[in-house]
Amino acid sequence: VKVLQGTPEFMAPEVVAFEPVDFSTDMWSVGVICYILLSGESPFQGDNDMETLSNITAARWDFEEETFSEISQQAKDFISQLLQKDPRRRLSSTGALLHPWLQHPQASSTKVLSKERIKQFLTRRKWQVPGGTRGLWGWLSAGAHCSFSLFQKTGKALLALNRLT
């Protein structure tokens, strides 16, 4: 039995791929949280959970110019080093604490996060199709032999896949 648990936006690629996890997996989530705190947007959020997981697996994200124009290069570098698809290339917790963005804080930006953008992020997350079940049905009908259970509880999804072959 393989278990995939958590809020999709914060999952690291190795979690989505059912690969071993370690402390670097948590560092990915730190990168996602920093991205959200600085922009009010999720770097990987799709129209449903399956699209979000696909974006994570491909490590598809960028710094949108409009959103990140006033964010320091050090902050963007910090996030970039945390959102590395290869866990071995991610900043460790020690490396993160020693990063110049945290070691040498710069004057605060006067930029205020758009309350509307944060509302949109939260609303979109709340009303997404849980687990992107249409995508799972396509996967199952393509010949994968497994059973699955999907639960939605307070914004967290649990997806358990049991391989029968």
What the block records as the tokens of 25 is 């997996």
With b for 16 or more beta-carbon neighbours within 10 A and e for fewer, the 112-131 pattern comes to eeeeeeeeebeeebeebebb
Q: Are 34 and 78 in contact (CB under 8 A)?
A: yes
The pLDDT value recorded for residue 44 is: 95
Mean pLDDT of 112-134: 56
The pLDDT value recorded for residue 27 is: 97
Mean pLDDT of the chain: 75
Q: Which CATH number fits domain 2-163: 3.40.50.2300, 1.10.10.10, 1.10.510.10, 3.40.50.1970?
A: 1.10.510.10
> pLDDT grade, residue 96 (50/70/90)?
very high
Q: By C-alpha distance, which of 63, 40, 47, 54 is closest to 125? A: 47
Weakest-pLDDT range from 101-110, 123-132, 133-142: 133-142
Amino acid type, 59 = A
> pLDDT grade, residue 106 (50/70/90)?
confident
What stretches of 18-92 show up as alpha helix (H) in DSSP? 23-39, 49-57, 65-68, 73-82
The pLDDT value recorded for residue 125 is: 56
In whole angstroms, give the CA distance from residue 19 to residue 35.
24
Weakest-pLDDT range from 24-28, 85-89, 100-104, 115-119: 115-119
pLDDT at 39 exceeding the cut of 70: yes
The pLDDT value recorded for residue 3 is: 46
Mean pLDDT of 125-151: 41
Mean pLDDT of 43-68: 92
Q: Is residue 85 classed exposed, middle or buried when 0-12, 13-18 and 19+ CB atoms within 10 A define those classes?
A: middle
What the block records as the tokens of 119 is 């509302």
Q: Are 14 and 165 in contact (CB under 8 A)?
A: no
Domain extents for the chain?
2-163
Q: Helix, strand, or coil here: 157?
A: strand
